[in-house]
Chains A and B, each alone.
Chain A
Amino acid sequence: MIKFILKGLLRDRSKFLFPVLTVFSGVMLTVFLYSWMNGVMTEIIRTTAHFQTGHVKITTRAYAKEEAQIPNDLALTDVDSLLTSVRLQFPDIYWVPRIRFSGLIDVPDEKGETKKQAPVFGIAVDLTGKNETENKILDIENKIVSGRMAVKPFDILVSTLLVEKLGITVGDNITLISTTMNGSLVMWNFIVAGTVNFGISGLDKSFIIADFSGMQKALDMENCAGEILGFFKNDLYQKEKSSEIALAFNSNYNDKNNEFSPVMTTLYNQNDLSSIIDMASKFTGIIAFIFIGAMSVVLWNSGLLSGLRRYGEFGVRLAMGETKKHIYGSLILESLITGIIGSVIGTIAGLAIGYYLEYKGINMASMFKNATLTVDNVIRADVTIYSYFIGFIPGICATILGSAISGINIFKRNTSQLFKELEA
């Protein structure tokens, strides 16, 4: 009997084609949107981690509270020994010290007078030390447009748009005007070693990268650091594991009565990223739900329409001795089959688009022009194992729901009435 139903279904294109196409498009969109959103979220998390939050971050308790102001006067002290001990305690994590800073860049003319000025913000990372960790994390070498990597403590890398704005070139001297850890004004000279372009609208406007040891000297932060960031070695944020690490660290170091004791926060708990991450995981449910709803309505209506056409068929089948329940069941079975077929081909198509955009990416620079979010201008889809299954939820739910609702009409109608519709 199932074979019989299947045969009829596959041969009758009007029964089959429209529902399959509906499911196909809905599932394709679901799979693609899911993979796309996944890509967006992965990208936001990745760049935010790299430039701002790390996967975990150590600061003083006081610094953590006012982080937005970059309060370097509340920086961690005795950083060398702290680094040594966290590297020992958590060897699976890359630990890197950083100083964030902001200030004014002053470009002098030949006479030493101010030619141009611009506000900047930047990070100081270990560029001149022995290990290449920061270069790897931030992929700096590949982002250099002209000039070279910083190799001396007072070499500095300047973002391309800022270079344009200031009218400077590689090799020029510039002065950073900022405040030291003690709160006094400082003017320090740097040499532009290279220009960088990260392809992140939020950064490329007025960003500089300095060497950590150089900036320690410039801002009077000997053996101090604003922050120590920790990164998982596979560069993927792991929510549970980072919480465990933070818990272990804090039970050791965090002292509620000492505002200068170090505290570790996870990426999830910083910068309101939690709401973005939570939204992303809800988003998947929301798309699935929207498509279940939309496709159900479409399939319900197409079920009603094809139901009208099929009253003749139902009438004959009843006359031959099928019960209404059996016919209803066979309608559900038909819809299950269409749902599965539509979901399979829809998933294949959605994955194809997803993989293509994972490989190609779309440049969204114009959209991010005024964004403060650090997110790469080129967004790629991210196909995960879930992309393979997510489409089946709306695909199959919607077809079954659609035909379950439209099929109720069989019960509403009198059997003899089904024949009347035929004779008309």
Chain B
Amino acid sequence: MNDKIIETEKLLKEYPMGHAVLKALNNVSLSFDYGEFAGVVGPSGSGKTTFLNIAGTLDSPTSGLCRVLGQNIESLSSRNAAELRTKSIGFIFQTFNLLPAYTVFENIEFPLLLLKIGKDERKKMVADALKWVGLSDRSDSFPKDLSGGECQRVAIARAVVKKPKLILADEPTANLDAENSHNIMRTMRNLNKELGITFIFATHDEKVMRYLKRKITLVDGKVDNDQITEESDKGEKL
């Protein structure tokens, strides 16, 4: 039994660039414990998204090992990868990506439909998720009627509603103002504490970094720095 939620060894991801190759990830060996609230940080183009996508089984490495929730992603069939995502991984994106034709309730309900959870239980779980993100009163609204901050909170609710073990958040605050950024970071940290969900961020936003208990800095696809910051609550005071 493996006690790490994510474990990578010598992860390499190459993209062809004319005659040369671009190493989006270069020899990345990292591991994350269950319950972490950590972030991959670094300038744009440093490989953060690539790392998250591989950890989320949406992409595969050129070489190296990546184990997620005890599964070696290289050996997963696309069906098994999909199943792993359905059951255990939630995603939060920079652009929210709510389904515009569906209400807040239905957007959050969607992952539960994929899990084939019964109607009554779905209702209860969605209601809980709405409570966690403080949007109980917007259940029947459509995404177009919500502010950016509210949209991102719906996206968070959609990611946590099935209580996954792991949530991967790629630049979740990039389209939000300061107040909303702090709001959703606080929400996510509470969920991390209360539900024990592991959160891994990709960000270059200082506001986000203040909340992280661990920061891994990537530069040109390489791990430059891996640091634990115990004073992670100070962001709240700003």
Which A residues form the contact surface with B (CB < 8 A)?
1, 4, 7-9, 11-12, 15, 312-313, 315-324, 326, 414-416, 419, 422-423
Taking a contact as CB atoms under 8 Å apart, the answer to whether A321 and B101 are in contact is no
Partner of A1, one of B53, B58, B97, B113: B113
Residues of A contacting B20 in the complex (Cβ-Cβ under 8 angstroms):
none
- Chain B's nearest CB lies how many Å from the CB of A321? 3
Taking a contact as CB atoms under 8 Å apart, the answer to whether B53 and A322 are in contact is no
Residues of B contacting A422 in the complex (Cβ-Cβ under 8 angstroms):
93, 95, 97
Taking a contact as CB atoms under 8 Å apart, the answer to whether A319 and B94 are in contact is no
Taking a contact as CB atoms under 8 Å apart, the answer to whether A316 and B101 are in contact is no
Residues of B contacting A415 in the complex (Cβ-Cβ under 8 angstroms):
53, 58-59
Q: Which chain A residue lies CB-closest to B155?
A: A316
B123 contacts chain A at the CB level, 8 A cutoff? no
Taking a contact as CB atoms under 8 Å apart, the answer to whether B111 and A320 are in contact is yes
Taking a contact as CB atoms under 8 Å apart, the answer to whether B59 and A12 are in contact is no
Mask: chain B, 28-70; 1 = CB below 8 Å from A; 0 = not: 0000000000000000000001100100101100000000000
- Chain A's nearest CB lies how many Å from the CB of B96? 9
Listed by A's residue number, 28 A-B pairs whose Cβ atoms lie within 8 Å are A4-B102, A7-B101, A7-B102, A8-B99, A11-B101, A12-B100, A315-B97, A316-B93, A316-B97, A317-B110, A318-B58, A318-B85, A319-B91, A320-B85, A320-B158, A321-B82, A321-B84, A321-B85, A321-B86, A321-B87, A321-B89, A322-B114, A323-B78, A323-B79, A415-B59, A416-B59, A419-B53, A422-B93
B224 contacts chain A at the CB level, 8 A cutoff? no
- Chain A's nearest CB lies how many Å from the CB of B113? 5
Q: How distant is the Cα of A319 from the Cα of B97 in the complex, in angstroms?
A: 11
Q: How distant is the Cα of A11 from the Cα of B49 in the complex, in angstroms?
A: 32
B106 contacts chain A at the CB level, 8 A cutoff? yes
Which B residues form the contact surface with A (CB < 8 A)?
49-50, 53, 56, 58-59, 78-79, 82-87, 89, 91, 93-95, 97, 99-102, 106, 109-111, 113-114, 158
Residues of B contacting A419 in the complex (Cβ-Cβ under 8 angstroms):
49, 53, 58, 93
Taking a contact as CB atoms under 8 Å apart, the answer to whether A320 and B114 are in contact is yes
- Chain B's nearest CB lies how many Å from the CB of A375? 53
- Chain B's nearest CB lies how many Å from the CB of A413? 12
Taking a contact as CB atoms under 8 Å apart, the answer to whether B59 and A414 are in contact is yes
Partner of B58, one of A11, A15, A319: A319
Residues of A contacting B85 in the complex (Cβ-Cβ under 8 angstroms):
318-321
- Chain A's nearest CB lies how many Å from the CB of B57? 9
- Known pairs A4-B113, A323-B78; list 20 more (Cβ under 8 Å): A7-B102, A12-B100, A12-B101, A313-B97, A316-B91, A316-B99, A318-B85, A319-B56, A320-B110, A321-B89, A321-B111, A321-B114, A322-B114, A323-B79, A323-B82, A415-B53, A415-B59, A419-B53, A422-B95, A423-B94
Taking a contact as CB atoms under 8 Å apart, the answer to whether A4 and B106 are in contact is yes
- Chain A's nearest CB lies how many Å from the CB of B114? 5
Residues of B contacting A8 in the complex (Cβ-Cβ under 8 angstroms):
99, 101-102
Partner of A423, one of B56, B95, B100, B158: B95
Q: How distant is the Cα of A326 from the Cα of B93 in the complex, in angstroms?
A: 22
